[in-house]
Amino acid sequence: MQLDIGKPILEKNDALAHENRQLLDDKGVFTVNMLASPGAGKTALILATAEALGDACRIAVIEGDVASRVDAELIKAQGIPCVQINTGGLCHLESQMVAAALGQLDLDAIDLLFIENVGNLVCTSDFYLGEHCSVVVLSVPEGHDKPVKYPGIFQAADAVVVSKVDALPVFAFDERAFRTSMSDLNPLAPIFPVSAVKGTGIAAWTAWLKSKIESFGGLA
Ligand code: MG
Ligand code: ZN
């Protein structure tokens, strides 16, 4: 059995998301919706990305969490502008929350915005926020079978980052099975194996991101 999220809710969400997108386009802010399970390493990846891109790219972050400011504090400690959204129990971000957060950022001073969505592989990808691309982060300890179990989010992704690859020796993550299921679901999405702590793969991931920002017209 499949349940449908109410159509009026999604239509209302999408209408405001298009307004967000217009604003982001006008301000030249390339925006990435980052989707993952809790603990997949989204925040660590954002921090490693910011470090790799350096001063050439001005980054900001919108942090979505059910509760707490833990991740926002980590981001701000690195001198990166960050707005925390607490959903108070809701399992995904919606476009009106992002609209409010955009109002708190100096969009003229940002080239790249990460929206770190609530950790959840189920419904986050149903809610367009106005982003230019969505990236799913899957960590090695979660297992290679996640695309088979949660196909929707992997199908919709513009890229997939496989994080914590430094843990490959201790987890039964079948890379070939993972790539096979991804090529069935979403053959065009590039896959970036990374380790944020070791720095592995960060160069290839940031090069892809930079090329997306450049073709959007940012970093001119
Ligand atoms: Mg986080
Ligand atoms: Zn949800």
Each residue's pLDDT tens digit in the chain (220 positions)? Answer: 556 667 888 999 999 999 999 999 999 999 999 999 999 999 999 999 999 999 889 999 999 999 998 999 999 999 999 999 999 999 999 999 999 999 999 999 999 999 999 999 999 999 999 999 999 999 999 999 999 999 999 999 999 999 999 999 999 999 999 999 999 999 999 999 999 999 999 999 999 999 999 999 877 5
Can you tell me which residue has the tokens 């989010």? 153
- Ligand closest to CA 117: 1
Cα(124) to ligand 1 centroid in Å equals 14
Cα(11) to ligand 1 centroid in Å equals 28
Q: Are 177 and 207 a contacting pair, CB within 8 Å? A: no
Whole-angstrom distance, CA of residue 167 vs CA of residue 162: 11
Cα(161) to ligand 1 centroid in Å equals 15
> Can you tell me whether residue 108 is helix, strand or coil?
helix
Residues with CB under 5 A from ligand 1 (ion): 42-43, 71
Q: Are 174 and 140 a contacting pair, CB within 8 Å? A: no
DSSP 96: H
Cα(74) to ligand 1 centroid in Å equals 9
Q: Are 67 and 86 a contacting pair, CB within 8 Å? A: yes
Q: Are 91 and 120 a contacting pair, CB within 8 Å? A: yes
C-beta neighbour count of 157 within 10 angstroms? 26
